[in-house]
Amino acid sequence: MNIEKKLSEKTIEALQSLYGAAIEKIVFEKTNPDFEGDLTLVVFNFLKISKKKPEETATEIGNFLKINVPEVADFNVIKGFLNIVIADSFWLNYFKSINGKPFINAILPADAPTVMVEYSSPNTNKPLHLGHVRNNLLGYSVSEILKAAGNKVIKTNIVNDRGIHICKSMLAWQKWGNGETPESTGIKGDHLVGKYYVEFDKHYKEEIANLVKQGKTKEDAEKQAPLMQEAQQMLFKWEAADKDTMELWGMMNSWVYKGFESTYKMLGVDFDIIYYESQTYLFGKNIIEVGLAKNILKRRADNSVYIDLTADGLDEKTLLRADGTSVYMTQDLGTAVQRAEEEHFDKLIYTVANEQDYHFKVLFLILSKLGYKWAEGLYHLSYGMVELPEGKMKSREGTVVDADELMQEMIDTAAVTSKELGKATDLSNEDAEKLYRTIGLGALKYFMLKVDPKKKMLFNPAESIDFNGNTAPFIQFNYVRIQALLRKAKDLSGFEFTDSFSSPANLLTKEKELIIKLYSFNTTLNQAAAEYSPALIANYIYDLAKEFSQYYHDVSILKEEQKDLILFRLHLSKTVGSAIKESMQLLGIDVPERM
């Protein structure tokens, strides 16, 4: 029941009938709220074929549509803008067709495209922080949106569990840990390992400062510092599979994995496949050999391997060091090929901050030059960094906003705010705690996702937990208000809440606006999927909740004298509630039933 499509087809007929012109595509827009109408056609592009003034052209097309499209109740013309009024009967028939049905079809078509979405990609030398929160929420939400839009989605994570940064934590624990463990300290495993990453940096800086005092340059001091040399030696041992080093690495990584698992669970994200860099970093070497054989890659005199991308406006990119060791690009090449061979994806989306824009340009170009056709389906979901009022975060200095602490702070703040507003007065302690968690985490997720992914964002927790404005608590409150309304209706004397209802003779303006908003759900979903933008869903839900809030205040529902109108308005409210709940789920956000 797509009225835009029907109007477009009939407008093409109108142009052919009126002016003898063949036009392939017609686009209607939502009418400006300052004017009467539901859909608007801009006619300026048709003046060459009509050879008439904008107002006359628009009027002729409008008359044609009113005669030939039963759903067109009326139209008006303002200069070159044809504003179409859609009949109430169309909106009522649409509402009846969706009433009681889910908005999201859980059954995928047999030919659904396979889309792999990579997100999270943490390092095992520190806990997840605020930046990871945006990454995880964005990747998870995009996955859910793509799935709802009819794609088979594979959610994947690659854990960076090897390298010099991992050895730094290992070495620091070895030197200053005194054998402490998560069990002996009560510290979460990823936090404990992160503590020693910071500890390494502290001692490393002291060594650099001492070497500089002895007359070394800063660059030489950084290379010659004993701690760094020890860390590099540990990395060589790891790559040589030294037994003691591997045991230490395995033990500390196991602490981190357990910690990550807890954080992911609290954040509400999951993965279908998890890759580990320690298992994939060598895969790219075979691809390097293929590239050399095809003369696409070159070998330098020092035995290092590179690709020359200067003709493509990039630079020379080293893919193997002179000593034969891999670089990050080597690993990413190998992992991409492995995924393509194993999962046969149609599209692979990398959810990575915009600091890595250049890296992915190079990666995609190399894979394309190597002849992999599926490289056309690679996409970098480049998002803006999250910053704090006081500036950027620094992991080595321990100045990050920890993800676990942030989530708990949001829950605690939600508890304080809810108690002040009397939101949990009638709930048991257990239900109240569940409510605080739902509100707090919902506020965090919505605040992160309502911003266009491409934009840098400033995170302000205080703004996110507000029961007014464009926030999750405002949306959740209106969902709860609908559920309370439905419960009250069941206790209404002399009234039965039946599945079927009679349509009103005329829709109120607010009722029509709500139905139009429900009608736009699929368009919004498909646009969000095409643009990989949960922000479109977030702002759709806010607009819907805001429309309902105004409707609730302006229109009598349970106190209406006509029972048929009560029933219609309850069904409308219930459907709005369903749309809110299903849309919030696309963002990974729960809605409470009471508050």
**CB-CB neighbours of 42 under 10 Å:** 15
In words, the CATH class of domain 3-86 is alpha beta
Q: Is the pLDDT assigned to residue 313 strictly greater than 50?
A: yes
Give residue 389's pLDDT. 67
Q: Is the pLDDT assigned to residue 399 strictly greater than 90?
A: no
Q: Which pair of tokens denotes residue 233?
A: 């030696």
Convert the pLDDT of each residue in 90-121 to its tens digit: 999 999 999 999 999 888 889 999 999 999 99
Give residue 11's pLDDT. 96
Q: Which pair of tokens denotes residue 245?
A: 């080093």
In angstroms, the CA 170 to CA 196 distance is 8
Range name among 251-255, 402-406, 475-479, 544-548 with the lowest pLDDT average: 402-406
User: CA dist 267 to 135, 144, 406, 439, Å?
Assistant: 12, 15, 11, 13
* DSSP state letters, 318-330: EEE-TTS-B-HHH
Q: Which pair of tokens denotes residue 395?
A: 């992991």
Q: What is the mean pLDDT of residues 215-228?
A: 94
Convert the pLDDT of each residue in 464-473 to its tens digit: 888 888 999 9
User: CA dist 283 to 87, 302, 333, 388, 494, Å?
Assistant: 62, 22, 8, 38, 72
* Bridge-based pairing state of the strands 114-118 and 347-353: parallel
> Pick from 173, 314, 196: which is nearest to 248 by CA?
173
Give residue 395's pLDDT. 41
Q: Is the pLDDT assigned to residue 396 strictly greater than 60?
A: no
- Domain spans in the chain, listed from the N-terminal domain onward: 3-86, 163-254, 283-325, 403-586
335 alpha-carbon distance from chain centroid: 23
Q: Is the pLDDT assigned to residue 328 strictly greater than 90?
A: no
Q: What is the mean pLDDT of residues 355-370?
A: 97
In angstroms, the CA 113 to CA 106 distance is 15
Convert the pLDDT of each residue in 10-47 to its tens digit: 999 999 999 998 888 899 999 998 999 999 999 999 99
* Bridge-based pairing state of the strands 305-308 and 316-320: antiparallel
Give residue 390's pLDDT. 61
Please give the model's pTM, rounded to 2 decimal places: 0.92
- Mean pLDDT (the chain, rounded): 93
Convert the pLDDT of each residue in 527-557 to its tens digit: 999 999 999 999 999 999 999 999 999 999 9
> Pick from 215, 208, 125: which is nearest to 168 by CA?
125
Give residue 434's pLDDT. 96
> Pick from 285, 281, 276, 247: which is nearest to 160 by CA?
276
Q: Is the pLDDT assigned to residue 307 strictly greater than 60?
A: yes
Q: What is the mean pLDDT of residues 183-202?
A: 96
In angstroms, the CA 295 to CA 383 distance is 35
Q: Is the pLDDT assigned to residue 184 strictly greater than 90?
A: yes
CATH of 403-586, picked from 3.40.50.720, 3.20.80.10, 1.10.260.40, 1.10.730.10, is 1.10.730.10
> Pick from 54, 44, 5, 47: which is nearest to 26 by CA?
5
Q: Which amino acid is at 295?
A: N
Residues 6 or more apart whose Cβ sits within 8 Å of residue 532:
142, 145, 146, 349, 379, 381, 453
Q: Is the pLDDT assigned to residue 391 strictly greater than 80?
A: no
End-to-end CA distance of the chain: 37
| Residue 404 banded pLDDT, cuts 50, 70, 90 | very high
% of the chain residues with pLDDT over 90: 82
| Residue 285 banded pLDDT, cuts 50, 70, 90 | confident
Q: Is the pLDDT assigned to residue 86 strictly greater than 50?
A: yes
Convert the pLDDT of each residue in 74-85 to its tens digit: 999 999 999 999
| Residue 171 banded pLDDT, cuts 50, 70, 90 | very high
% of the chain residues with pLDDT over 70: 98
